[in-house]
Amino acid sequence: MMYQNFINYLTDKGYSKRTVEIIHGTMHNAMQQAVPLKKIGSNPCESAVISNKNIKKRKVLSICELKTSLFS
């Protein structure tokens, strides 16, 4: 649960989904290595969910809007 809170914190701070995925991947691999070494009982990263909260919607510009934004 604490790890999910960390992932949610990163998302709430505005980090992109890809950045959160990279951090999660690094943490998951580190925790996975700690399990056979008996440093931890199980990998807390296994059940974490990364939300799509910060995905930005893109606006498609018309040719007129594009010309206006490029030449104004």
Residue-wise pLDDT tens digits, 3-57: 999 999 999 999 999 999 999 999 999 999 999 999 999 999 999 999 887 666 6
pLDDT at 19 (0 to 100): 96
What is the Cα–Cα distance from 43 to 32, expressed in whole angstroms?
6
Domain containing residue 51:
2-71
Question: pTM (2 decimals)?
Answer: 0.71
Question: CB neighbours (10 Å) of residue 33?
Answer: 12
Give me the pLDDT at residue 37, please.
97
The tally of domains found in the chain comes to: 1
What is the Cα 1 distance to its own chain's centre?
Answer: 17
By the 8 A CB rule, do 4 and 49 touch?
Answer: yes
- Would you say 32 and 43 are in contact if contact means Cβ atoms under 8 Å apart? yes
